[in-house]
Amino acid sequence: MYDVIVVGGRCAGAATALLLARQGHKVLIVDQAQLPSDVRLSTHLIWHAGVDQLQKWGLLDAVVATNCPLLTGFSLDMGELVLRGTPPGTQAEAALAPRRLALDKVLLDAALEAGAELRQGVTFEDVIREGERVTGIRGRLADGSGFTAHAKVVVGADGTHSRVARAVGAEVYNESPKEAGSFNLYSYFTGVELDGVEFYSRPERMIYAWETNDGRTVIGVIQPGNAPRPARQDMEAHFLQELSTLTPGLAARVKAGQRDDEWLGGAIGTFCRQAAGPGWCLVGDAGVTMDPITAAGITNALRDAELASTLIHQGLSTPQGVDAALADYQARRDAIAVPLLGFAQEMAKLAPPTEDIIKLFMALAGNQKQIDRYYGLFGQTVTPAEFFDPANMAEIFAAA
């Protein structure tokens, strides 16, 4: 009998298990994969709020020690206007883009060191219930034999296609299909000089570049999910053509370097799922999957881990129990996540900027405090409600 079973042992699951194990709870992590291992569909950027979490948990130095530099310079090139800034109000004052092999391993090692147990090669299939309440999991081992375990609470950290969410019947809302989102094409390069984290906003395109582990850079082109996509054999030519036409300076630096991985890419549907019910809750992509255009998923996962583990700990430590403690998890998660989800869904359309948006960016030029606050939307240190608040808009236009 465990206090908590966490299904999925990557950034959301390992972090949740770590925080609960550190508070003395008996935690089991199960994952169908052999961990640590890489995640191919990720560009790895962790924004400032996520880096602050790693620092708070004492893990930032270990992640940086995987040969992953802190990222402190940010530019958004919109053609005629380039905004340089950094999100305000952070502890670490940096972003970070560790390969998932590195990040997930640091989190998992810390969880195991804190006393969590790990069973790999366990595919979750269904929950076990007593009446309405989830009391455990049923799964399958690699050799086909069955696996069962019981706990006071089951945490689904099993990613966007969460089987835990399906098993508990978690309701889906604020859904948007992948055709309405962005399509991301990227690869890894060596020998490409970058000026910090580079973003380029172009008509129906977002181009980005940043450094990950071992001096490698991840560079990609994002286009609307419903636009024609290159066939696999044409990806190289498509990518170079896009860069040469839209960002010739970056194209020249890319050509001076070397691509050292295959072309990766994809588009995903985005949504929120009901966050908790009797004996269960969801964290990370299982609960909220956002469009990768704002690179928010890992930062969200770490924030969910902190919130869910705090509530579960409270529930396990008081007579009211876990279900009472998790009762306002969804409201607290969504207060932050839903505006960010909407912001990412809007941005993912890569629609031409409205007159108002053009005026806003022109007004931001030269106003460093507000440029930093704009970056804070991505760094998750300024909320969309705060930035787009009429009083803040008035301040920006008055200063301009």
Ligand X SMILES: Cc1cc2nc3c(=O)[nH]c(=O)nc-3n(C[C@H](O)[C@H](O)[C@H](O)COP(=O)(O)OP(=O)(O)OC[C@H]3O[C@@H](n4cnc5c(N)ncnc54)[C@H](O)[C@@H]3O)c2cc1C
List residues binding ligand X (CB under 6 A).
7-13, 30-33, 39, 41-46, 123-124, 157-159, 163, 184, 266, 268, 284-286, 292, 295-299, 301
Nearer to ligand X, 59 or 360 (CB): 59
- Position of tokens 């809007």? 346
Nearer to ligand X, 8 or 277 (CB): 8
- Determine the residue type at 40: R
Nearer to ligand X, 7 or 275 (CB): 7
**DSSP label at residue 327:** G
**Pairing label, strands 270-273, 172-176:** antiparallel
Closest distance to ligand X from the beta carbon of 10 (Å): 4
Closest distance to ligand X from the beta carbon of 136 (Å): 14
Nearer to ligand X, 11 or 396 (CB): 11
Nearer to ligand X, 85 or 284 (CB): 284
- Determine the residue type at 2: Y
Closest distance to ligand X from the beta carbon of 395 (Å): 30
**Pairing label, strands 74-77, 197-202:** parallel
Nearer to ligand X, 221 or 316 (CB): 221
Closest distance to ligand X from the beta carbon of 355 (Å): 31
Closest distance to ligand X from the beta carbon of 27 (Å): 15
Distance CA 60, CA 102 (A): 12
Nearer to ligand X, 138 or 359 (CB): 138
Alpha helices, DSSP H only, in the chain?
11-22, 48-56, 60-64, 100-113, 163-168, 235-246, 248-256, 297-317, 321-325, 329-348, 355-364, 368-379, 384-387, 390-399
Q: Which two tokens stand for residue 321?
A: 């129990």
Nearer to ligand X, 52 or 360 (CB): 52
Closest distance to ligand X from the beta carbon of 47 (Å): 7
- The candidate with the shortest Cα–Cα distance to 66, out of 19, 12, 105, is 105
**Residue, CB closest to ligand X:** 297
Cis check: omega of the bond before 36, within 30 degrees of 0: yes
Contact 40, 133 (CB under 8 A): no
Closest distance to ligand X from the beta carbon of 399 (Å): 32
Q: Is the dihedral of CA 165, 166, 168, 170 positive or negative?
A: positive
Closest distance to ligand X from the beta carbon of 65 (Å): 20
3-state secondary structure 66-119: CCCCEECCEEEECCCCEEEECCCCCCCCCEECCCHHHHHHHHHHHHHHCCCEEE
Contact 146, 39 (CB under 8 A): no
Closest distance to ligand X from the beta carbon of 157 (Å): 5
**DSSP label at residue 47:** -
Phi, psi of 382 (to 5 degrees): -130, 130
Strand partners, 49: none
Q: Which two tokens stand for residue 74?
A: 């940010």
Contact 136, 128 (CB under 8 A): yes
Nearer to ligand X, 53 or 86 (CB): 53
